[in-house]
Amino acid sequence: MRLLWSVLFSQILAVVTAQRSPISLDIISGAPSQGQSNVQLTSSTLGFDAPKTLPINGSSFDWWYFDVVSEDLDYSLVLVFFAATANGLWKGLPELPASVWVDGQISAPDGPAHNFIADSNDLIVMTMANGSSGTLNGTGWGWAGLPDMSYYELIIDDPEAGVQGTVTFESTTPAQFPCASITAPGEQSFILGSAPFGWANALPDANANVDVVINGTRIKFSGAGYHDKNWGPSAVGTVVKSWYWGHARLGPLVVVWFDVISPDGSEHVSSYVSRNSEVLTASCSNMTVRATGANSTWPPVRGTGAPGGFHISASVEGEGQLEIDVKHKTLLTADPDVTIYRWTGSVSGGFGNGTTWTGPALYEMFAF
């Protein structure tokens, strides 16, 4: 399995050489810095998926998030590479000896979810043009992305944890800033909200394939893939108070929603809808996301229970009002003490013209 790393990086380097793409290398130490973190919150020409918080200290954070949900909702995978201490994130996390680590979960219909965690002395991230590749040194966990972010791959080779395999992502739609598509001209802000909470959505949707072996049992499925990253200069709860976030396939549409409450109480939203790789809307307006059913009080606060579902309403120029209902299938993560919930579920809805679509979704509610 470890041979795959060298083969994949050789292929990426061949692309980089052919395209003459610039390369940068960051070694993020597992020992938190005692100094101040430098945080990038506006875009540059390249480096969309690069580290944005350097160095990591006792309260700053940076992470790379990946997930896949199968079309039938029976399978899912969530994998997050963190550069942060527990103090930089939220309560309820394990106290690890290092501040660079990976947290993963794979769910299948025939048993309980498989959970994994590993830490390292350093996280090595190579950025080529806009794409990034990283390895959690010495653990067998990492990711690799092409310079144009059209393809990513997770490679897992951790015999001690009993898991080995690959997850591939082929992008279906352009990347997203909080308030614009990556195709928008000029400098863009990475900030979502009124505080320095950074977000970059490299893969709003991807055709994903999971092929892993866990303690001798093979789990193989395909579905809707996704990859983004978040970061900030101080603990998460100091730059955002709550969020509703998720991504879905709704018939021919790709939909991503991110509704946050900033520390000053103001609401901010990022709305993304595309169809057949064409972005219909990518903005910080014209969308509302609300919980439905039980525990639907808005805004959510720490201690709010899990809602019955969600409703999303988005105005899409030239198409009309998009109305979507989100219904839970599987609760993947729950910590009611901190108000952290993650689900897979189904979406249904449309533009009100008589056509209703359905599809899979993976989504969250956090409150700090």
The string of pLDDT tens digits covering residues 99-154 is: 999 999 999 998 899 999 999 999 999 999 999 999 999 999 999 999 999 999 99
Residue with more model confidence, 338 or 76: 76
Does the pLDDT of residue 11 top 80, yes or no?
Answer: no
Does the pLDDT of residue 18 top 60, yes or no?
Answer: no
Q: What's the Cα-to-Cα distance from 190 to each of 9, 19, 199, 356, rounded to whole Å?
A: 28, 26, 6, 33
DSSP letter string over 288-299? EEEEESTT--SS
Domains 1-239 and 241-368 share a fold: yes
Q: Where in 30-121 does DSSP place strands (E)?
A: 38-39, 53-54, 61-70, 76-84, 100-107, 114-120
Question: Domain 241-368 carries which CATH code?
Answer: 2.40.370
pTM: 0.95
Residue 22's pLDDT is: 81
- Give the homologous superfamily in CATH for domain 1-239: AttH-like domain (2.40.370.10)
285's CB contacts (< 8 A; 6+ apart) are: 269, 271
Domain ranges of the chain: 1-239, 241-368
Question: Span 76-91, mean pLDDT?
Answer: 94
Residue 3's pLDDT is: 46
Q: Where in 85-197 does DSSP place strands (E)?
A: 100-107, 114-120, 122-128, 131-136, 141-145, 151-158, 163-171, 176-177, 180-181
> Are the C-beta atoms of residues 83 and 100 closer than 8 Å to each other?
yes
The string of pLDDT tens digits covering residues 194-248 is: 999 999 999 999 999 999 999 999 999 999 999 999 999 999 999 999 999 999 9
CA distance linking residue 245 with residue 267, whole number of Å: 13
Does the pLDDT of residue 17 top 70, yes or no?
Answer: no
Q: How confident is the model at residue 15 (pLDDT cuts 50, 70, 90)?
A: low
CA distance linking residue 83 with residue 100, whole number of Å: 5
CA distance linking residue 149 with residue 189, whole number of Å: 19
Q: What's the Cα-to-Cα distance from 283 to each of 75, 199, 306, 362, rounded to whole Å?
A: 31, 13, 28, 21
The string of pLDDT tens digits covering residues 181-203 is: 999 999 999 999 999 999 999 99
Residue in the structure block whose two tokens are 């679509």? 357
Does the pLDDT of residue 32 top 80, yes or no?
Answer: yes
Q: How confident is the model at residue 367 (pLDDT cuts 50, 70, 90)?
A: very high
